[in-house]
Structure 1
Amino acid sequence: MEGIVRTDDVLGGEPRLDGRRISVRQIVELVADVGMSPAEMAAVRDRHRNAMDRVAEGAIDPPETVSP
């Protein structure tokens, strides 16, 4: 399981998931404000990660915007 860390030069020092650039605040906002369940949030993260992997491999062009 990933831990929560703080690094001054990443996300302005906000608490975040270790090894990721997603803050604890962002997670809380997604779950509470947007009404996403943790499973829905993970699915969005995985879709974005898969798309960005394909961009890096040159399989697809970068998207103009990334939406859930």
Structure 2
Amino acid sequence: MTITSDEEVLGGEPRIEGTRIAVRHVAGKVIDAGHPPAYVADQLDCSLASVYEALSYYYDNPEEMRAADRANAAAFERVRDSSIKPKEPIS
């Protein structure tokens, strides 16, 4: 197990090798949502060791994780701004 990055997968965001599970997703489920690591491992169908490795990477690389959060937020805004919007109601 290891954490890897590849521009071809998840836009280069750090992830658990051999999966599309981003470190940021694991951290969000454990830290932000308060789920136990064993529960997260079960839900993501990965090993408990992978969850702990992702958490370790998250804490060891705070600047990279903040940059990933900013990039994700910017991508979300671009998609939201370009999405089809409902027509204005006729008054």
Same fold by TM-score, threshold 0.5 exceeded?
Answer: yes
Q: Which structure dedicates a bigger proportion of its chain to helix?
A: 2
2:17 corresponds to: 18
1:4 corresponds to: 3
What does 1:21-60 correspond to in 2, within 5 Å? 21-46=20-45
Report the CA distance between 1:37 and its aligned residue.
Answer: 1.0
Q: Greater Rg, structure 1 or structure 2?
A: 2
Runs of 4+ that moved beyond 6 A: none
Coordinate RMSD, CA, aligned: 0.8
Higher relative contact order (CA 8 A, sep 6+): 2
Q: Deviations over 1:1-60 (max 9, x none)?
A: x100000010010000000101111111010111111101012123xxxxxxxxxxxxxx
Aligned residues: 45
1:50 corresponds to: none
Q: Which runs of 5+ in 1 are unaligned?
A: 47-68
Partner secondary structure for residue 32 of structure 1:
helix
Aligned-pair identity in percent equals 44
